[in-house]
Amino acid sequence: MNPNNIYLTQTDTTVGFLSQDYKKLNKIKNRPLEQKVLKEVDSLNTLKEFVRVSKRFKKIVRRAKKSTFIYKNGDSYRVVKNKRHLKFLKKFKWMYSTSANLTGQKFDKKWAISKADVIVEGKEGLFEGEASKIYKINNYKIKKIR
């Protein structure tokens, strides 16, 4: 499995494109190539490789489900807990992830399939689910964004 391919799969929240090449994801979504993209990680140990979580908020981050945290460096991470999606993600340890739709539009399966290199579809199929909660976090405070 090539980590730089674009994978279309059901994530823990909604249908998403995943890759370790964030520029490819931004190009598909017609966004600026350098725009930051959410990183999904397979464990708290993998998260520690990228960012330091303040001692004050470690418990919150560890227990959070379907929640994305934006850290003070502007990077955003979600630790995946969903068993089915985690099975896929563990093959890579981490991947950039974005919803499989054009910005501000609904999920269009035909469009998404045309943009993906590999389709990973389980028995439940691909469906637009609920977006993750988003929190902005630093050493001293946490603020809910969505």
Q: What is the CATH number of the domain that holds 132?
A: 3.90.870.10
Say if 1 falls within a structural domain.
no
pLDDT of 100? 92
Counted domains in the chain: 1
Say if 2 falls within a structural domain.
no
By residue range, what is the domain housing residue 42? 7-144
Residue 79 to residue 64: CA distance in whole angstroms: 8
Say if 102 falls within a structural domain.
yes
pLDDT of 103? 76
**Which residues of the chain are under the pLDDT cut of 50?**
none
pLDDT of 127? 78
pLDDT of 128? 81
Say if 126 falls within a structural domain.
yes
pLDDT of 105? 83
Say if 27 falls within a structural domain.
yes
